[in-house]
Structure formats: C-alpha cells, structure tokens
Amino acid sequence: MTHTPVIAADLPSPVGPYSPGMQFERLIFVSGQGATDPATGRLAGSDAATQTAQCLRNVQTILRAAGSDLQYVLRCGVFLVDMAEFPEMNGVYARTFGDHRPARTTVEVSKLPSEGLRVEIDCIAYRP
C-alpha cells in the first residue's frame, strides 16, 4: 500500500511543508485550503462568503486532480476566525454542495496562517 501526493499546477503554493492533498488507495485527504486565488496569488476577497467560495474552488481543484470531485466528499472541516460569520459561510457551502451533505465540523479559531484569511476548509473524499 502506498500513498501519493496530489499536485495541481493551478493551486496556490502551500504555506508550509505539506502537500495540498494525499491519496491512499481510493481515499483523498485534502489539506486545509484558504481563499487565495491562484490566478492572482491574493485573497479572493475580505468577507467570509467570498473566501468560502474560493476555499471550495481550491478544494475542488485538488479533488479533480486526484480523479474525484465535490460530490465524493465524505467529511469537511471548516475553520472560521469569527463564528458570527457562520451564516455567510454556511450559505455558500450549502449552495456549493447542493443536496450532497458531507459530515462536517465547524470551529472558531483565533487565527489562520495568512493575514486577512477568515475561512479555511479541509476534507476527506474518495475516488469513484
């Protein structure tokens, strides 16, 4: 049994010594994704809704590079710097996943690794 890093050219560079995603057999573990727009290298916006949408686009890019997609997500972890922004994040999250409802944990954190970052999302998915 081996594990393989998932690499996608159109992703922001990780801020540390880790892979954006790892595959093990049919499972895909996606590292926490912030709201950096890979086209500009900057945060996609300053509000939780815009950042959530970009986080999920980054997650989707990694999943697609691994032969999967959002409908195969089993679990997400959502990290917010302010739980008061939960409704904004949750609205974008619900629209993005549609009727698919992965298991999820949402927690408030004191800080995220990039200045201005309000949301970070990780996930576990599978390759069909």
- The predicted-structure confidence for 2-25, as pLDDT tens digits, reads as follows 899 998 888 777 878 899 999 999
Range of the domain at 33: 3-126
0.75 exceeded by the pTM? yes
Cα 48 to Cα 68: distance, rounded to the nearest angstrom? 26
- The predicted-structure confidence for 62-81, as pLDDT tens digits, reads as follows 999 999 999 999 999 999 99
Task: Quote the Cα angle for 55-38-127, to 5°.
Answer: 55
CATH number of the CATH domain containing 104: 3.30.1330.40
Number of domains in the chain: 1
Nearest C-alpha neighbor of 7 from the set 71, 55, 63, 54: 63
